[in-house]
Amino acid sequence: MSVEPALAGSEEEPAEKDTGSILTKLGGYLNDAVIMRTAFYGLAIGVGVTLFLDYQEMLKADETAPVVTLGRANPVLPAYVPQTEGEDRTQAPAPDITTSTEILNNKMTIELDSGGILRMTGFIDVGTADLFDHEVEGISEYVKTVELNSPGGSVFDALVISTKIREFGWTTKVSDGHLCASSCPIIFAGGKNRVATKKAAIGVHQFFSFGDDTRSPSEAISGTQSTTALITRHLENMDVNPQIWVHALETPPQQLYYFSKDELKKYKLTTKQ
């Protein structure tokens, strides 16, 4: 009896078994890898679609909302038009302001021009009142009119400057294409005579703190009330109807309440137009 066939058969069976086992394991591994890769791609696509849809919603929101920026970045703010029941009030948006945003955003410059015109242009920073004192020292006798072109700024500096303008007896003026907003009308009120030309833009809104405000809510409210009292008393002293400041109190800081020609006259903010 030959043993070779038996030996050959016994050697071939393990070979077939090993080959099948390897293929089975390899197939399982490949299936797991495909499943994992497919799941990963599916998850990535899902996240991408979600982000895309969120981005589209953001774009739609941006298209419907007014693009405004607090403070100095966008001094020419959109008009605030309060809706009063039973009153048909149509207020035009801001007049055409021809001064560039860059100029309005710069720190205030104070320069004496021909004809006794003292031009005050730019943002009212903390310390502008000291700058005002320095610039008018020695030239006050030549000044007749203060021309304002400012988006506002420090309320307290505006109060100091306004008081000194009244002491000098100067006229204040806002010309066509110029802006006098936020705290700038406080300075404007200091003029013994106050002139606003037809296309001048004069507006107010709620004042707010620059930088980080570390005060508690009660301290912030108290400070707001004290500042409002100072402004109201100052306007009365300047022969301006303090009721004008109600429009500032009701107008969000992201917008401006632009006064019409009739309103400027009604509240006695202007004496000449």
Residue 169 lies in a domain: yes
- Residue range 29-56: average pLDDT? 49
pLDDT above 90 as % of the chain: 56
Q: Is residue 66 part of a domain?
A: no
- Residue 207's pLDDT is 83
Query: Which pLDDT belongs to residue 164?
Result: 98
CA distance 234 to 208: 19
Average pLDDT value for the chain: 79
Q: Are 180 and 149 in contact (CB under 8 A)?
A: yes
Classify residue 121: in a domain, yes or no.
yes
Residue-number span of the structural domain to which 81 is assigned:
73-266
Asked if residue 112 is part of any domain, the answer here is yes
Crossing angle between the packed helical segments 128-136 and 155-168, to the nearest 10 degrees: 20
CA–CA separation, 232 vs 57, rounded Å?
Answer: 44
Of the given ranges (36-40, 116-120, 201-205, 221-225), which has the lowest mean pLDDT?
Answer: 36-40
- Under DSSP, the state recorded for 114 is G
Residue 30 has pLDDT above 60, yes or no: no
Burial 81-120 (b: 16+ CB within 10 A, else e): eeeeeeeeeeeeebbebebeeeebeeebebeeeeeebbbb
Are the C-beta atoms of residues 145 and 171 closer than 8 Å to each other?
yes
In a domain, 257, yes or no: yes
- Residue 247 counted as domain residue: yes
State the pTM of this model: 0.70
Q: Is pLDDT of 19 > 60?
A: no
Q: Note the pLDDT tens digit of each residue in 58-79.
A: 334 333 333 333 345 678 898 9
Indicate whether 175 pLDDT > 50. yes
Average pLDDT for residues 156-178, to the nearest whole number?
97
261 lies in a domain? yes
At 198-250, the pLDDT tens digits run 999 999 999 876 555 565 666 657 767 888 999 999 999 999 999 999 999 99
DSSP at 107: B
Q: CA torsion angle for 105, 133, 196, 175 (degrees, to 10)? A: -50
Task: Give the domain CATH number at 214.
Answer: 3.90.226.10
pLDDT > 70 fraction of the chain, expressed in percent and rounded: 63
- Give the number of other Cβ atoms within 10 Å of residue 63's Cβ: 8
Structure tokens, 250: 């009701």
Query: Contact 245/232 with Cβ under 8 angstroms?
Result: yes
**Encoded tokens for 61:** 């929101």
What is the pLDDT at residue 222? 73
Q: What whole-number distance in Å separates Cα of residue 170 and Cα of residue 132? A: 14
Q: State how many domains the chain has.
A: 1
Given a contact cutoff of 8 angstroms between Cβ atoms, the answer to whether 70 and 208 are in contact is: yes
Q: On the CB side of 45, how many CA atoms lie within 13 Å of its CA?
A: 6
Distance CA 258, CA 251 (A): 10
- Output the pLDDT for position 73: 66
Between residues 23 and 236, the one the model is more confident about: 236
Q: In which element (H, E) is residue 30 found?
A: helix 4-64
Q: Do the bridges between strand 201-204 and strand 257-258 make them parallel or antiparallel, or are there none, so unpaired?
A: antiparallel
User: Is residue 205, in this structure, part of any structural domain at all?
Assistant: yes
Return the CA Rg of the chain.
36
87 CA to centre of own chain: 30
Distance CA 149, CA 105 (A): 11
